[in-house]
Structure 1
Amino acid sequence: MFILSHLVAGIIVGIILARAFRDRRAIPAAAFGALLPDIIDKPLGHVFLAMGYGRIYSHTLLFLLCAVLVGTIVYWRYRSVLALAAAAGIASHQVLDAMWREPTNWLYPFLGPFSYSGEGRSIVDLIMSELAEPTEWILFAAVILFGLAYLYGGRYEAIRARFAPLLDRAFLVLGLLLLAAGLWVAGSVFLHQPCMLTAMRSPEDHLICGLVIALAGVAAFSCRNME
């Protein structure tokens, strides 16, 4: 899955945890966790190890379990949700990458060494594929508005009082557009029709991506009338 899909999924997870634990810091923590596996594995796999593959150590179930364990201990000891939110973001990353399709890598080291395509994709190739993916541009707008909601929510009262009505309308429009786009992408799987909103080929990836976009629309609705 692409980077902004991971980021938005992390933001959605963070919003849920922020409301459950009443701690808005869970949002950036989960967003960071959602990006962390690629931050670690992409340079490691594509540059330093020259594998041409970027789903290795931090894409494993073992890495996720360690992150959950650390998050649980930190929450139990310090009552801080940050590490636990980061672990939830890591979990969302592995779900979006559908790591169960690569059991040898996901369950490493229990099924042997990593297996990979060896297709030799470079970092430049990855960046170009990101720029060519239409859903990433859709989610870019969501990331910008979610960022504004986080910055202005509960802070900068004078600025928020001035721009809150505008942001409310923007979130309403964005939420409707994201929900429609998400249903279009996901629905194309069941209708067996091509979808111009994504260049992905796997029906499973279509379904996951569509779900993320639709949930981003729901999250946009929840950001209206920010407190």
Structure 2
Amino acid sequence: MLGFCHLFAGIVIGLIIYKITDQRSAVIACGFGAILPDLIDKPLGHFILADSLNSGRIYAHTLLMLSIFVIIGLYYWKKKSSLSILAVSAGISSHIVLDEVWKSPTTLLWPFNGPFETSNFESYFTTFAVKEVLSVSEWVFAIMSILVLIVMYKDKIKLFARLSPHIEKSYPISQIFLMIVGFTYIMYGVNRHYHDDIVIGAVAILGGLGLLYGMKEKEIDDDLLSSHLNAAKR
């Protein structure tokens, strides 16, 4: 999967965690965790270790890496009552699932199942950049990720506060659009036997449902806050 697909999935998972736990930091933390494996492994594998491995799925795509974050996250949660690092772990988990790393048990179970497999990519970063720019789904996921973050942090940045009401009004349209994109990708993937398109479609549909849940809850919270403020004024 490409970067913004991972980011969007992580943000949606973080939004759901936030609605359950009321810890808003989970949104950013989970989104960061969702792209962290690539932030580590792509430069490391395709640049620093290009002559030996030349693979973008190495250390940060392993269960060992995930386990370390979970252990640290549990400790941090116990000491600070913060789910931030566990949310990063949730993001890493979503990345591993979307990349279907279990299909490469050598990577998933490293170092217990032997060394990493080598790959052969030429001009990886150029190819990656072109795919990002030309991918319709990546533009959709990028825009939706930005819109969610604007709404979630509208009380932190003045520009976000001005934009947020307009974005929130357009959420139903955005969610319908996500569903249409998702079903389109799934149908195209099924007809063409493109597995990645099916996964992208599933992310779009599930992401739309996640936003529907998260934003609906937020609207309820805002209504309750407004009612309390009005009552206080009286």
State whether TM-score is above 0.5: yes
Select which of 203, 206, 209 maps to 1:218: 209
| 2:34 counterpart residue number | 34
Structure 1 residue 165 displacement after superposition? 4.3
- The one of 117, 120, 144 aligned to 2:119: 117
Q: Mind listing any 5+ residue stretches in structure 2 that lack a counterpart?
A: 223-234
Deviation per CA, 1:16-55, whole angstroms, max 9, x where unpaired? 1111211111100101111111111011001111133210
Q: Contact 1:64–1:90 at 8 Å: present in 2 too?
A: yes
Contact 2:150–2:164, Cα closer than 8 Å, also in 1: no
Matches within 5 A, 1:1-227: 1-50=1-50, 51-152=53-154, 160=161, 164-189=164-189, 192-194=190-192, 202-203=194-195, 205-221=196-212, 222-223=214-215, 225=219, 227=222
Structure whose CA Rg is larger:
2
AA paired with 1:11? Answer: I
Once residues 101 and 171 of structure 1 are traced to their aligned partners in structure 2, the CA distance between those partners, rounded to angstroms, is 36
| SS state at 2:47 partner | helix
Kindly state the Cα deviation for residue 166 of structure 1 after the two structures are TM-superposed.
2.0
Cα distance between partner residues in 1 of 2:78 and 2:30: 18
Query: TM-score normalised to the size of structure 1?
Result: 0.87
What percentage of aligned pairs have identical amino acids?
A: 33
Higher helix share: 2
Matches of 1:87 and 1:34, distance apart in 2 = 8
- Off by >6 Å, runs of 4+ in structure 1: 156-159
8 Å contact kept, 2:151–2:168: no
Note the aligned Cα RMSD (angstroms).
2.2
Q: Paired residues, what number?
A: 216
The answer to whether the 8 A contact 2:153-2:160 is kept is no
Gaps of 5+ in 1: 195-200
C-alpha distance in structure 2 between counterparts of 1:44 and 1:157, whole Å? 38
